[in-house]
């Protein structure tokens, strides 16, 4: 059984190594006006599965302007090289009519619009690296090139392994003090870590089939690690009690699985059923956020019901509670947590007030908590996505990182960008929101 689970972990990691782990921040809401507009635009302008992905151009205060002849030529050469990269179907420069608004007023910030034949979640770090490398003529001319959008998301995807490592270290200290032994303290962590490795690998592979947000992996890691340790503690505690009562290791493992294992199976099934309720909303994002922790909980239950009994039999007496130094055999009365419970039971109201004040003090930071939809502006400083976001926001003002797509269908084909019906669509949102509106073709060679 141990070999089977280790083989499963190795297979999952190998599959991720070969196929890659995919996440996306794309959100679709079937039946909504915004989704209808997006679908209509994709149908009318096919060929660019990714949409327009920015490649931000920026020059320092002492550098050449993007409007200078040397910079213009360098950017055009870079755009031509990028257009030859695999999966790139079109590149719009700030010097094309369709990209006339893509240079800031001071001439120091601009962006190329790169379109690819793969969706945002299919953009890999390799694609982004090749596109950035192809922009070498612009870099050689003193222009900083930073990917944005899905191009940046592909290379910025970091690992939360450090946070899990800190949590595991803290849990190990607590468990070691509680159980009084390193082997007993390490078992729940090994079970939780094994489940976490398998769950995150599976989610990375699932991302190839459905839109899996990066937050889904974070939630899965948090819940999966928690229940993995918690469920193992149920069984380990019962197993130690049975060993202390003189039950043999194999019989103790059987009784542990029949008792604590049944509770774990019920608890895990209840959690998965509750998460499955999110899928009833019909929103793919919620479905993904339910699927991610659901997989983690399912793996944790499987480990507890199959792997844990085998490990309990293998380790046996090594997991037994060790007698405390200086403890007398005839010592009466509760000790440790039993003594604490006795004090709480004797003075319930005092303990309740003290605990409430403590929890309230710990919860004070939540009073400043602001809720909202996160974007690249919330990413780590120095990351490509955050750098591109800040430079565009500084150069073009609010709204540049959250553009709106307005779609309309004309009864007859438009005569060109100056058609009154086209300009009417452009003016309509400007009257209400006063943004910078530009009707752009999806590809340079395609008319509006």
Does pLDDT of 445 surpass 50? no
pLDDT for 443: 39
Name the more confident of 199 and 285: 199
Q: How does pLDDT run across 317-365, given as a tens digit for each residue?
A: 887 766 555 555 445 567 777 888 999 999 999 999 999 999 999 999 9
- Supply φ then ψ for residue 26, to 5 degrees: -70, 140
3-state secondary structure of 204: helix
Give kind and range of the element (H or E) at residue 88.
strand 88-92
What does the pLDDT look like over 119-163, one tens digit per residue? 777 788 899 999 999 999 999 999 999 999 889 988 887 655 576
pLDDT-derived band at 264 (thresholds 50, 70, 90) equals very high
> Is it the case that residue 175 has pLDDT exceeding 70?
yes
Q: Which two tokens stand for residue 72?
A: 């213009």
In the numeric block, the tokens 């200290």 are attached to 173
The mean-pLDDT minimum among 22-31, 47-56, 436-445 falls in 436-445
* CA distance readout (Å), 148 to 56, 131, 385: 7, 12, 5
pLDDT at 30: 77
Kind of pairing, strands 109-116 and 53-58? antiparallel
Residue 285 predicted with pLDDT over 90: no
What integer is the mean pLDDT of 180-209?
86
For residue 144, what are the β-bridge partners?
58
Cα–Cα distance measured from residue 318 to residue 296, given in angstroms and rounded to the nearest whole number: 28
Residue-level pLDDT at 441? 44
Of the two residues 418 and 383, the one the predictor is more confident about is: 383
- pLDDT score at 444: 37
Q: How far is CA 289 from CA 211, 277, 296, in A?
A: 10, 11, 12
Closest C-alpha to 57, from 118, 18, 114, 12: 114
Judged by average pLDDT, the poorest of 81-85, 133-137, 299-303, 319-323 is: 319-323
Q: What is the pTM of this model?
A: 0.62
Split at pLDDT 50, 70, 90, the class of 432 is low
Structure token pair of residue 181 = 């032994």
Quick check: 440 pLDDT over 50?
Answer: no
Widest CA span of the chain, in angstroms?
A: 99
Asked whether the predicted pLDDT for residue 20 surpasses 50, the reply is yes
Looking at the DSSP assignment, which residues form a beta bridge with residue 114? Answer: 53, 91
Find tokens 């190594």 and name the residue: 17
Q: Model confidence over 55-79: pLDDT tens digits?
A: 999 998 888 899 999 999 999 999 9
Q: Is the pLDDT of residue 37 over 50?
A: yes
Contact 180, 321 (CB under 8 A): yes
C-beta separation of 308 from 191 below 8 A: yes
Mean pLDDT for 15-22 is 83
State mean pLDDT over 33-50.
75
The rounded mean pLDDT for the chain is 84
Burial class for 171, CB neighbours closer than 10 Å (0-12, 13-18, 19+): middle
């Amino acid at each position: 059984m141990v070999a089977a689970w280790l083989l499963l972990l190795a297979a999952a990691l190998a599959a991720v190594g070969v196929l890659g782990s995919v996440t996306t921040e794309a959100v679709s809401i079937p039946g909504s006006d915004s989704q209808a507009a997006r679908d209509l635009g994709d149908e009318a302008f096919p060929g660019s599965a990714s949409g327009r992905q920015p490649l931000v151009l920026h020059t320092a205060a002492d550098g050449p302007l993007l409007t200078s002849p040397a910079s213009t030529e360098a950017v055009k050469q870079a755009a031509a090289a990028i257009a030859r990269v695999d999966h790139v179907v079109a590149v719009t420069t700030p010097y094309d009519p369709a990209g006339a608004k893509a240079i800031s007023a001071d001439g120091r910030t601009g962006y190329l619009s790169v379109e690819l034949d793969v969706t945002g979640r299919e953009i890999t770090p390799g694609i982004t690296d090749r596109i950035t490398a192809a922009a070498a003529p612009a870099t050689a001319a003193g222009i900083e090139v930073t990917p944005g959008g899905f191009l940046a998301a592909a290379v910025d995807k970091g690992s939360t392994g450090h946070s899990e490592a800190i949590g595991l270290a803290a849990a190990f200290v607590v468990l070691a003090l509680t159980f009084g032994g390193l082997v007993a303290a390490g078992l729940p962590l090994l079970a939780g870590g094994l489940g976490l490795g398998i769950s995150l690998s599976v989610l990375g592979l699932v991302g190839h089939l459905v839109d899996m947000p990066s937050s889904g992996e974070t939630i899965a890691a948090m819940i999966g690690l928690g229940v993995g340790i918690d469920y193992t503690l149920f069984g380990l505690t019962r197993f130690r009690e049975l060993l202390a009562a003189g039950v043999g290791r194999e019989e103790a493992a059987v009784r542990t699985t029949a008792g604590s294992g049944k509770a774990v199976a019920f608890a895990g099934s209840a959690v998965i059923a509750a998460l499955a309720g999110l899928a009833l909303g019909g929103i793919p994002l919620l479905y993904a956020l339910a699927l991610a922790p659901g997989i983690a909980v399912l793996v944790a239950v499987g480990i507890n019901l199959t792997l844990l009994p085998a490990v309990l039999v293998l380790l046996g007496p090594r997991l037994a509670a060790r007698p405390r130094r200086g403890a007398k055999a005839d010592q009466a009365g509760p000790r440790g947590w039993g003594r604490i419970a006795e004090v709480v039971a004797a003075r319930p109201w005092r303990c309740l007030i003290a605990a409430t004040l403590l929890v309230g003090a710990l919860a004070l930071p939540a009073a400043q908590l602001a809720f909202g939809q996160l974007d690249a502006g919330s990413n780590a400083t120095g990351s490509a996505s955050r750098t591109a976001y800040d430079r565009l926001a500084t150069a073009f003002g609010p709204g540049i990182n959250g553009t709106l797509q307005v779609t309309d269908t004309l009864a007859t084909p438009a005569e060109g960008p100056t058609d009154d019906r086209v300009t009417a669509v452009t003016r309509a949102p400007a009257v209400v929101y006063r943004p910078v509106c530009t009707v752009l073709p999806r590809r340079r060679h395609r008319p509006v």
